[in-house]
Structure 1
């Protein structure tokens, strides 16, 4: 295609290491003359960036209700902890979460509260890499899409006393 110019893409930090690489590859293959300007921020700021026309489109892990959206992919969400981490039975679940606003934080707290499972905030981060680092360091448990999985993490489930995630 001969389409030229700049396409400014807003990407949530969650999408930056999941769907974004595939999307960038496809766009640059189909439109090789198009320059791509990618701005990665937290999910909470994506709609604001689109509304202010700071970006032409956004790639996010949660569908904003005020915009027309196309679902590119659905990823299951799992509970994660460090590979060697031992969840203490009978103790509140130590959570590693992003600070507010965070759709994953809201989902985790709602899921645990609905199941009447006690929890405590063990670590609150302002970035996703900080959440990953804290979980890998064994500070607690988090819930993220399947793409977060790595050899130094393990998935927790009902046998560990955690409820299924939506």
Structure 2
């Protein structure tokens, strides 16, 4: 007799593929391999008797059956997770720090991804500098921290590598013969230090004209025409211009984004894996 039930893990894999549009990112989010996710999807499609996902060399998209099944699949996962909670799994809390240079405008959508992974998980998020968050993590005030690379530490898990560039307001002009005006974060800030060291190594004179307490403040100073800032492209509002090549500025390296955590398994770890996969999706664009 054929088992009429659905495999919850296979349903979860399908939902992750639908959310990320990628087998690789779906696998990252559930902490497994791409081949394992593909196999689960095939088993689910065989059980349902329909193709849920159309695969092409460049794109992954849902079939008509996949679109129709997605809402029901999400409802099934929510009911499954609620049932586990009611049957004795106490609500867990995850204290998570995210660097201001990492969070970005996508943070609401990323939090929604974590909530979709586990609606019963209480998520306590703190936004601060990477250095501050790592100190809190070491004091065990945080369960996990997603930060920029901190020199001298090698205990983080690589989430992704993000490009940096020199940005100014559209049409902004540098006055010839004057030092490059910089808008930066307040110390200590790894991106600030990297930008200044890169300019020094290239022999480019500079001066600070604005020091902000957060990325949003630095981006505002850039858009107000105060000067140039080293930032990730996704941090800038529409209208910012990459002026590095026009001004002959040295190229900035890609900076690693790392996850520091003592959590190795369970619901909080699943939520962290989903968040890490979402960050990779955002950076890859």
TM above 0.5: yes
Higher helix share: 2
Q: Could you say what secondary structure the match of 1:72 adopts?
A: strand
| Alignment partner of 1:87 out of 174, 177, 180 | 174
Q: Is the 8 A contact 1:82 1:154 kept in 2?
A: yes
CA-CA distance at 1:19 after TM superposition: 6.6
Q: Which residue of 1 aligns with 2:143?
A: 56
CA-CA distance at 1:20 after TM superposition: 4.5
Q: Which residue of 1 aligns with 2:159?
A: 72
User: 1:34-53, CA deviations, whole angstroms, 9 ceiling, x for partnerless residues?
Assistant: 11111111222011110111
Q: Could you say what secondary structure the match of 1:154 adopts?
A: strand
Q: Is the 8 A contact 1:47 1:64 kept in 2?
A: no
Unaligned 5+ runs, structure 2: 1-80, 254-285
| Alignment partner of 1:106 out of 184, 193, 196 | 193
Q: Which residue of 2 aligns with 1:128?
A: 215
Of the structure 1 ranges 125-134 and 112-121, higher mean CA displacement relative to structure 2 is found in 125-134
Distance 1:63 1:29 in 2: 30
Distance 2:97 2:169 in 1: 30
Unaligned 5+ runs, structure 1: none
1:28 and 2:115 matched: yes
Distance 2:132 2:106 in 1: 18
Structure 1 residues 20, 64: CA separation in 2 closer, same or farther (over 3 Å shift)?
farther
Distance 2:106 2:240 in 1: 21
User: 1:32-75, CA deviations, whole angstroms, 9 ceiling, x for partnerless residues?
Assistant: 21111111112220111101111100111325654632222221
1:152 and 2:239 matched: yes
TM-score, normalization: structure 2?
0.54
What value does the CA root-mean-square deviation take over the aligned residues?
Answer: 2.0
Q: Could you say what secondary structure the match of 1:10 adopts?
A: strand
CA-CA distance at 1:79 after TM superposition: 0.3
CA-CA distance at 1:91 after TM superposition: 1.8
| Alignment partner of 1:17 out of 97, 104, 117 | 104
CA-CA distance at 1:24 after TM superposition: 2.8
